[in-house]
Amino acid sequence: MTVSTSVVLAEDNAFVRKGIRRLLDIAQNIKVVGEAGDGVEAIRLVKELAPDVLLLDVELPRINGIEVARQVSRLTKKTHVLVLSAYDDPEYIQSMLGIGVAGYLIKDEAPHRIVQAILGVAQGQVGWISPQVQRKLKRG
């Protein structure tokens, strides 16, 4: 029997969220158990569903992704946070990594890398960083 990795997807852009959902739905061993369009909903779903991974955008309405990651890290050790953002700003990246997120990927990342990162993070791996993010951090 195969165990699925449960994921809550937090992304405010419905079109982008639908695309990511489609990618995750075809991946083996990943089950999207909830979708949030803002930070308040993301926190509520993490509390309610206790997913293995919260796939989190940084720019969310109501409560931004940085604060969501901070609250989730205080709330539970079961849910690992993986950031998937369009922003590669070193300040955002450093803030998220400082909170203790398991990784920071850029949305234009290869689909297989996003799936690998989710599965790895669910197993407790940390340090999933986009090559683009690594370059920014070295310069910044």
For residue range 64-84, what is the model confidence (pLDDT) as tens digits?
Answer: 999 999 999 999 989 999 999
Q: What is the pLDDT of residues 83-123, one digit of tens each?
A: 998 888 888 788 888 898 999 998 887 788 899 999 999 99
CATH of the domain at 22: 3.40.50.2300
Domain count across the chain: 1
Taken in order 55, 60, 64, 67, the sign of the CA dihedral is negative
Q: What is the pLDDT of residue 46?
A: 98
Residues paired with 82 in a beta bridge: 55, 103
Q: What pLDDT digit, counting tens, does each position of 17-26 carry?
A: 999 999 999 9
**β-bridge partners, 38:** none
Predicted pLDDT at 140: 58
**pTM, whole model, 2 decimals?**
0.93
125: containing domain: 5-139
Please, which residues have CB within 8 angstroms of residue 125's CB and are 6 or more apart in sequence? Answer: 102
pLDDT tens, residue by residue, 33-59: 999 999 999 999 999 999 999 999 999
- Pairing between strand 53-56 and 30-36? unpaired
